[in-house]
């Protein structure tokens, strides 16, 4: 058996090799070089993740993680906290936007409660519902840590579990989304801390708050960073998840980390999911390779965070709903990129003159 360091090196070499081969294969296709733009880059990344030049992304699943947030006590949202539980019910009866898009695109949907308060016992009978409740929502992170170390770990494990379930079910492509009134405040505090960004640059309108609430939200994030900043422990990402995160954000972080280990492609949704990705990237940078950022949210800070992470979104549709809706829209594009690599003819196989390569 190879030593761990040599094994890691061989995996990296293999990933680099498959990328080179995929790029060369794309350039043999019956089209001018580069004429499919971003689709070609996506195809190369998919080949790296799957380890094949004939990738298949037909079996798709989105996991929506839901949790309540104690910081709503600071009046940072346009909606009351009970909307989280009400929307969770909506997901499970098929009435939400993510349900519509998942049905339209043939995407399987899992809904995971990692800390919603309150929750109806009736939900437990729904086959795609996973009750993994850590607690009845996080604490108000202005006055206390949002969660304990044990709670953070438990939420992260709930996310990792969904990747393991998907792997066992031979799912090809995963997506993540969330629901939690107050979670844009949590995500704003998290990315401000992790990426060293001023609160004014990362706090946005969320559910559509007015200017007075926006100023209060900025103040809440500023106070939280001042409170928790002096005691930062390593790893810093997990510390900040525990200090200002949400159970659903921690779950998505664990999800991305596990997907990185198992080499499963993940479509990351909007601002909240990107905050989870920022935490995951700091904990284990190698998980970056499996992530596709589905869209640039209309949430003001999302473009800034994507730039700080040096990643490019697939779509920009002015959306800011969450729920995994952006991931659902990006998944067919990722599947199309895989099919271009796997199914499109080459100049040789189609007996087409390769002079087309020079077309502009």
Active site residues: 323
140 and 189 in contact (C-beta within 8 Å)? no
d(CA 268, CA 222): 27
Report the b/e string of 1-37 with b at 16+ CB within 10 A: eeeeeeeeeeeeeebeebeeebeebbbbbbbeeeebe
Asked if residue 73 lies in contact with residue 140, where contact means CB atoms within 8 angstroms, the answer is yes
CA dihedral of residues 132, 134, 135, 139 (deg, nearest 10): -130
**Calpha distance 158→115 (Å, rounded):** 11
Q: Which of 264, 310, 77 has its CA nearest to residue 187?
A: 77
How far, in Å, CA of 168 to CA of 314, rounded?
28
> Measuring CA to CA, how many Å separate 208 from each of 143, 216, 301, 326?
25, 14, 14, 18
**Distance in angstroms (rounded) separating the CA atoms of residues 245 and 281:** 15
What whole-number distance in Å separates Cα of residue 165 and Cα of residue 179? 21
């Amino acid at each position: 058996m190879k030593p761990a360091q040599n094994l890691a090196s061989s995996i990296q070499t293999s990933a680099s090799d498959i990328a080179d081969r995929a790029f060369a294969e794309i350039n043999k296709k019956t089209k001018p070089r580069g004429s499919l733009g971003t689709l070609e880059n996506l195809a190369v990344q998919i080949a790296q993740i799957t380890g094949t030049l004939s990738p298949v992304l037909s079996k798709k699943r989105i996991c929506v993680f839901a949790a309540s947030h104690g910081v709503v006590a600071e009046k940072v949202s346009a909606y009351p906290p009970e909307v989280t539980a009400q929307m969770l019910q909506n997901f499970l009866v098929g009435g939400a936007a993510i349900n519509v898009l998942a049905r339209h695109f043939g995407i399987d949907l899992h809904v995971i409660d990692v800390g919603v308060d309150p929750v109806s016992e009736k939900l437990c009978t729904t086959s795609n519902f996973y009750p993994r409740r850590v607690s009845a929502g996080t604490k108000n992170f202005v006055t206390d840590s949002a969660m304990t170390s044990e709670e953070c770990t438990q939420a992260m494990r709930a996310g990792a579990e969904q990747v393991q379930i998907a792997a066992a079910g031979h799912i090809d492509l995963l997506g993540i989304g969330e629901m939690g009134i107050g979670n844009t405040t949590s995500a704003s505090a998290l990315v401000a801390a992790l990426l060293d960004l001023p609160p004014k640059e990362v706090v946005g309108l969320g559910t559509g708050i007015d200017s007075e609430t926006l100023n209060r939200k900025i103040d809440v994030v500023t106070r939280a960073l001042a409170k928790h900043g002096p005691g930062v422990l390593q790893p810093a990402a997990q510390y900040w998840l525990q200090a200002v995160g949400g159970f659903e954000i921690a779950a998505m972080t664990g999800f991305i980390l596990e997907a990185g280990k198992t080499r499963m492609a993940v479509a990351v949704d909007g601002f909240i999911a990107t905050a989870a990705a920022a935490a995951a990237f700091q904990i284990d940078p190698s998980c970056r390779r499996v992530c596709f950022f589905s869209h640039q949210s209309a949430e003001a800070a999302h473009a800034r965070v994507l730039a700080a992470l040096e990643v490019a979104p697939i779509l920009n549709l002015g959306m800011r709903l969450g729920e995994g809706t952006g991931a659902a829209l990006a998944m067919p594009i990722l599947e199309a990129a895989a099919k271009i690599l796997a199914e499109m003819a080459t100049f040789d196989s189609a007996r087409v003159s390769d002079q087309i390569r020079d077309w502009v």
